[in-house]
């Protein structure tokens, strides 16, 4: 796989240097945004029901979900992202599955913190197998003079723009009295609920925290786009914090902490490698042989999703995983994107959409064409949403194209 064309560098010009503009609008396009995908791969597979030899297109994000899809023996997984850092992350995770000696080495490299031997694993097994662009990204030194691949000797899950913001938010809540450490000791869901009510909810209801949750620059730092902020405000009459508390409650109380790596990351706990069911699907031992066999079918593309689709043949794609991509787009852009999805989709193709809001982020105009024959089941969508352990999104939608 030639990846040179997929890591083309782009230049971003800032038109303002005001503090509010900086925090509210600046997107570190060439820096790692997230080191893991905040979407439940188990739910994705239930929603898409992928058949062997499927041709899949997805937003790259943290790569966890895309690699999990390898368990279905796809023909190709095209991971599209404008950020070369996310594609470099995707590539090194895929190459780790392919070239590290065994499953234990993969688990230590991608899931376990404080593994100094990971530096040797990178040098011996991965560096020579990376594309020139990905190698350049991981070899580049940070402000402290260390190459970026040192992240794998620390704790990969603590790296990334949003992960840093999450750590700051967790520290603030701990200063306000939240006891996330007690959640780790809970033995069942009733105990999790009790600990949440007694030791975490008061901090979330603190006036200082509530004030911060109304500040746009804080929400931007946590990964909320302006469109998503607007959706949340409209859903709760201009108050965002109650919705955030409700979703955090669901994340920390509706699913066992020991089985939920999303909750573990939020409360500052590392992956529980002794419990396979708590690991992201792509790191579980039972799927490792298939992921290792098919990891070469992951293809990174550094470009806009609409540009990638315009280059594809008609009826050539079996599944589209948009994550919350539509939350960031103007309705006119969504219309254009959906036209390309409709053109590229094979009969029976599925589209998976998540949204921070509770309403479908597709304008009605996309369904007014007689050429669009898409169906969805609201009850099925809600059932999938209820099972999603990430719990931070407000809705999930699966569309299927009629044959």
C-alpha to C-alpha distance for 278 and 11, rounded to whole angstroms = 40
Q: Nearest-CA neighbor of 320 among 44, 26, 88, 39? A: 44
Those residues whose C-beta lies under 8 Å from the C-beta of residue 78, and which sit 6 or more positions away, are 55, 56, 57, 58, 299, 301, 308
pTM: 0.89
Please give the pLDDT value at position 144: 85
Which of 32, 28, 33 shows the shortest CA–CA distance to 134? Answer: 32
Q: Say what the pLDDT of residue 9 is.
A: 35
**Hey, what domains does the chain have and what are their CATH numbers?**
38-81+280-401 (3.40.50.150), 161-269 (no CATH)
Looking at residue 26, its pLDDT comes to: 42
Mean pLDDT by 10 residues, the chain (403 residues): 37 35 46 92 97 97 97 98 96 98 97 94 97 96 91 91 86 92 90 95 92 82 76 64 88 93 90 89 97 98 97 97 92 93 96 90 68 86 95 92 85
- For β-strands 345-355 and 395-401, DSSP reports them as antiparallel
Q: What is the pLDDT of residue 234?
A: 65
């Amino acid at each position: 796989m030639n990846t040179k064309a997929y890591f083309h560098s782009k230049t971003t010009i800032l038109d303002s240097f005001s503090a509010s503009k900086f925090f509210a609008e600046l997107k570190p396009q060439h820096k790692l945004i997230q080191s893991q995908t905040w979407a439940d791969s188990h739910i994705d597979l239930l929603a898409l029901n992928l058949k062997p030899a499927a041709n899949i297109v997805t937003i790259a994000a943290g790569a966890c979900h895309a690699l999990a899809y390898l368990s279905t023996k796809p023909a190709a997984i095209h991971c599209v992202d404008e950020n070369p850092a996310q594609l470099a992350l995707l590539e090194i995770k895929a190459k780790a599955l392919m070239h590290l000696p065994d499953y234990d080495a993969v688990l230590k490299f991608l899931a376990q913190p404080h593994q100094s031997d990971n530096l040797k694993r990178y040098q011996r097994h991965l560096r020579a197998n990376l594309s020139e662009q990905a190698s350049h990204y991981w070899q580049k030194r940070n402000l402290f003079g260390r190459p970026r691949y040192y992240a794998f000797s620390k704790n990969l899950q603590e790296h990334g723009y949003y992960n840093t913001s999450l750590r700051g938010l967790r520290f603030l809540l701990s200063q306000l009295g939240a006891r996330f450490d007690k959640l780790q000791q809970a033995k069942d869901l009733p105990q999790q609920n009790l600990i949440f009510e007694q030791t975490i909810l008061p901090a979330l209801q603190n006036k200082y925290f509530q004030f911060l949750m109304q500040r746009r620059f804080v929400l931007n730092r946590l990964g909320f786009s302006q469109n998503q902020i607007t959706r949340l405000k409209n859903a709760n009459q201009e108050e965002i914090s109650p919705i955030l508390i409700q979703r955090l409650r669901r994340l920390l109380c509706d699913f066992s902490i020991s089985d939920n790596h999303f909750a573990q990351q939020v409360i500052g706990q590392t992956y529980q490698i002794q419990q396979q069911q708590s690991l992201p699907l792509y790191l579980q031992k039972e799927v490792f042989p298939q992921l290792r066999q098919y990891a070469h079918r992951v293809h990174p593309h550094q470009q806009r999703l609409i540009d990638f689709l315009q280059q594809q043949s008609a009826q050539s794609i079996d599944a589209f995983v948009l994550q919350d991509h539509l939350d960031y787009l103007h309705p006119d852009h969504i219309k254009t994107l959906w036209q390309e999805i409709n053109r590229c989709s094979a009969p029976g193709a599925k589209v998976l959409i998540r949204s921070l809001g509770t309403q479908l982020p597709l304008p009605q105009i996309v369904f007014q064409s007689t050429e669009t024959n898409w169906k969805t089941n609201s009850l099925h969508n809600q059932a999938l949403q209820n099972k999603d352990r990430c719990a931070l999104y407000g809705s999930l939608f699966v569309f299927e194209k009629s044959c």
